[in-house]
Amino acid sequence: MASSKKAISKVTPRLEVKKTYKLYINGAFPRSESGRVYEVSNTKGGFIANPTLASRKDLRDAVVAARAAQSGWAKATAYNRGQILYRIAEMLEGRADQFASEISLASGVTLRKAQDEVATAIDRWVWYAGWSDKLSAAFGATNPVAGPYYNFTIPEPQGVIAVAPAENFLAFIDSIAPAIVSGNTVIALVPGSAAVAAMTFAEVLATSDLPAGVINILTGLHDELAPWAASHMDIDGFDISGIDKKKRTDLKVAGAENLKRFHHFDGAISPTRIYAFMEAKTVWHPIGV
Amino acid sequence: MTFEYAPAPESRSIVDIKPKYGHFIDGKFVPGKKHFATINPATEEVLSQISLGGQSDVDKAVQAAQKAYTKTWSKLSGKERGKYLYRIARILQERAREFAVLETLDNGKPIRETRDIDIPLVAAHFFYHAGWADKLDYAGLGKSPQPHGVAGQIIPWNFPLLMLAWKVAPALATGNTVVLKPAETTSLTALLFAQVCQQAELPDGVVNIVTGDGSTGAAIVNHPGIHKIAFTGSTDVGKKIARAIAGTSKKATLELGGKGANIVFDDAPLDETVEGIVNGIFFNQGHVCCAGSRLILQEGIADELIEKLKVRMAKIRVGDPLDKNTDLGAINSKEQLLKIQELASAGDAEGAQRWSPACTLSAKGFWFAPTIFTGVTQAHRIAREEIFGPVLSILTFRTPQEAIEKANNTPFGLSAGVWSEKGSRILWATQQLRAGVVWANTFNKFDPTSPFGGYKESGWGREGGKHGLAAYLKEGK
């Protein structure tokens, strides 16, 4: 779709092969169990794609995949996680033109703006990649307790994090990169037209050596999916940056049942966005001969 | 030759308990309208009448805290704030014995613990945080991190003054002012702390103390003039607070329940481990959110260790909390005693085997003998629910992986313990455990420099150390 003009031969007109937009769960591209889709069109009303309208059951499947993948991803060395995030940047760079034209088409921004957005997104992956092996230095400590004990604090990932970014590509990237770099796994709830670039991004993930289940992408409606994510007992944290302010209260009330960690952020990049979905663990051991 | 037991009671003449107390608002004690009795749980003697704070008391306290925040406290330099905290720390040290005796009378915990653990840690918390007050730029929160404003703090009855210190010291060091509610059954040391604030000449309204029950706490949580909530207590109430503030911009730290796993590998030094198990569950009558209340033993050593534990438990002295020999004091309240009895009965009913050493319990006051249950499975209520009493549930495991799975099989995630002589095994286990504090070859150790707090349903945020400051500050530039 994105390169449709180029694909048509000058001699014989050729019909473009269009992509089916599905979901990304556990490293695979399933359709929704609900069989539902919704239409994304351009600013003039022209058809672009039929992304999948994910259901509660799809969300539950994604949580199962994310939970199963979490301990393995957290156990990977920080060096390894950093390299995989960097690899995502490499794969995105190679397809920057495709993303720019898709974003421009689906969201209606100029191609120039879309190109800037993709460039920023690539640089964000590079920035977050570098954090993987510096989190302990920034958020850990050795603590001089008053006694013969060695005592240290290290940050660890919380577990399974849901993210509900605003309806644009950069917000989507900004929600998933800081959540996974520490060793969390993610279920991204991508709304509206942002689904188009997000599902193409799933192809980037599928070729980046990211283990299956670390990032799972559901497309559709926040109003439909976010309440189920908020009340799901096996989701530890929820980035609700893209949720309308008035609708955050109900989600937080539902999430109180497992004391889910809710956070929302403005667009700025910050390591506190990573640490928000981490827990500090403190270990004591006696010192003696 | 036998040594006869001779009691060594600490004198209570050092404390001066008034017949009736008001609230401490804007630097002054103000009389309350309704009152309720606070008793010595070891004797059921009425110690004093405590004011039951209502909405208007909370309103006044919040107003005083707001005024103090804008007019005084936020205008002071960190250096000067710190000096007030140092003053408080020093006065607490000077009056340590008085606080220890009063805490023991009101709470029922042994004088040995209040004297050697609670009160020294209280002073240490103020001394530690005093030093942070003018060094907040180095707390890892950017340049010039800012306080939230008025902190509403609700604390439990198990470590009354220590929990006050955990809350008040970081709040004041970071430039916030405070409205604090002590637990219903243990208000006396908080009210004595108010006198310390007066002696330290802390500006009026920086610390306000409203006594009362759950409804008083709810009035603080729901007050629009409160910017930050700090709560230590049950997971149930923690969830209620999370719901209550969902639609507000209030920040919250919650230190909630636990069901700490204490894992003993077969290479552990058994005698030391037994001491650690006893300290893990019988310290403070087991009224400890981070208690090692689930003992998870490797099968090969289980029988030998349980025998040693029984021998050691028979030496635990249960009785007068003011007796310096006492190891296990009174249960804090009748309500808590009933809860412990109910869960212990559930242990019997579900088929676990109960054992307690022979010990004589006083007919007056609230008492529960140190108790272990063997034959406990993960499905038993005594393996899943927080008992908050001197009751240990014992499970066994074969492989290290099984130990970790059992330890983590709980919605809580506050504490855990590991006992082994092998360094790599200890580090592996501490890595696998989903808990905010892991004690390896020790248990129930606390320090102001050491962050404390839970994973999962054990709470939000940390208290202590650099990590604890974050709860009271907005990130700087």
In-domain check, residue B17: no
In-domain check, residue B174: yes
Average pLDDT over residues B156-178: 98
The pLDDT assigned to A8 comes to 52
- The Cα–Cα gap between B331 and B344 comes to 14
* Among A143, A258, A284, beta carbon nearest to B457: A258
Same domain, B251 and B271: no
Total-model pTM:
0.96
| A140: nearest CA partner in chain B | B467
- How far B26 CA lies from chain A's nearest CA (Å)? 34
Amino acid type, B197 = C
The pLDDT assigned to A43 comes to 81
Same domain, B252 and B265: no
Same domain, B191 and B248: yes
CB contact under 8 A, B467 and A283: no
Residues of B marked as catalytic: 255, 289
Q: How many domains does chain B have?
A: 2
CB contact under 8 A, A252 and B442: no
Residue A1 pLDDT grade (very low, low, confident, very high; cuts 50, 70, 90):
very low
Q: Which of B410, B449, B475 is best to mutate for the A interface (most A CBs within 10 A)?
A: B449
Residue A2 pLDDT grade (very low, low, confident, very high; cuts 50, 70, 90):
very low
A253 interaction partners in chain B (CB closer than 8 Å): 243, 246
The neighbour count for residue B416, using CB atoms within 10 Å, is 32
Q: pLDDT digits over A26-36, tens only?
A: 999 999 999 99
* Among B437, B456, B457, beta carbon nearest to A282: B437
Same domain, B236 and B308: no
Q: pLDDT digits over B187-235, tens only?
A: 999 999 999 999 999 999 999 999 999 999 999 999 999 999 999 999 9
Average pLDDT over residues B237-260: 97
Same domain, B233 and B315: no
The range of the structural domain enclosing residue B134 comes to: 23-256+456-474
Residue A7 pLDDT grade (very low, low, confident, very high; cuts 50, 70, 90):
low
In-domain check, residue A34: yes
Q: How many domains does chain A have?
A: 1
A281 interaction partners in chain B (CB closer than 8 Å): 430, 435-438, 455
Q: Is the pLDDT of residue A5 over 60?
A: no
3-class SS of residue A64: helix
- The Cα–Cα gap between B58 and B76 comes to 25
**Helices then strands, each counted (H, E), chain A:** 11, 10
In-domain check, residue A15: no
Average pLDDT over residues B433-454: 98
Mean pLDDT of chain A: 95
CATH number of the CATH domain containing A128? 3.40.605.10
Same domain, B195 and B94: yes
- How far B324 CA lies from chain A's nearest CA (Å)? 23
Same domain, B152 and B277: no
Same domain, B68 and B114: yes
Chain B CB within 8 Å of residue A272 CB: yes
- How far A173 CA lies from chain B's nearest CA (Å)? 23
- Tell me the torsion sign for CA atoms B113, B115, B119, B124: negative
- The Cα–Cα gap between B179 and B168 comes to 9
Residue B2 pLDDT grade (very low, low, confident, very high; cuts 50, 70, 90):
confident
Q: pLDDT digits over A267-286, tens only?
A: 778 899 999 999 999 999 99
In-domain check, residue B299: yes
CB contact under 8 A, A141 and B453: no
Average pLDDT over residues A189-212: 97
Q: Which of B126, B236, B450 is best to mutate for the A interface (most A CBs within 10 A)?
A: B450
CB contact under 8 A, A282 and B441: no
| % of chain A residues with pLDDT over 90 | 92
Same domain, B61 and B170: yes
Query: For chains A and B, what is the number of CB pairs under 8 angstroms?
Result: 106
The pLDDT assigned to A269 comes to 87
Q: Is the ipTM above a cut-off of 0.95?
A: yes
| A71: nearest CA partner in chain B | B432
Q: pLDDT digits over B347-402, tens only?
A: 999 999 999 999 999 999 999 999 999 999 999 999 999 999 999 999 999 999 99
Same domain, B179 and B215: yes
B441 interaction partners in chain A (CB closer than 8 Å): 285-286
Same domain, B93 and B206: yes
The pLDDT assigned to B159 comes to 98
For A130, which DSSP code? T
Q: Which of A281, A287, A289 is best to mutate for the B interface (most B CBs within 10 A)?
A: A281
Q: Is the pLDDT of residue B321 over 90?
A: yes
Chain B CB within 8 Å of residue A249 CB: yes
In-domain check, residue A245: yes
Chain B CB within 8 Å of residue A234 CB: no
Q: pLDDT digits over B336-361, tens only?
A: 999 999 999 999 999 999 999 999 99
Mean pLDDT of chain B: 97
* Among B246, B456, B459, beta carbon nearest to A253: B246
CB contact under 8 A, A143 and B457: no
CATH number of the CATH domain containing B365? 3.40.309.10
Q: Is the pLDDT of residue B138 over 60?
A: yes
The range of the structural domain enclosing residue A256 comes to: 21-286
Average pLDDT over residues B317-328: 98
- The Cα–Cα gap between B120 and B89 comes to 10
Q: pLDDT digits over A44-81, tens only?
A: 889 999 999 999 999 999 999 999 999 999 999 999 99
* Among A144, A158, A259, beta carbon nearest to B449: A144
Residue B471 Rama label (left phi>0; alpha psi -120 to 50; beta): alpha
CB contact under 8 A, A258 and B411: yes
A259 interaction partners in chain B (CB closer than 8 Å): 235, 238-239, 242, 254, 256, 456-457, 459-460
Distances (CA, A) of B396 to A27, A121, B155, B346, B423: 38, 50, 35, 20, 22
CATH number of the CATH domain containing B105? 3.40.605.10
Chain B CB within 8 Å of residue A151 CB: yes
Same domain, B387 and B467: no
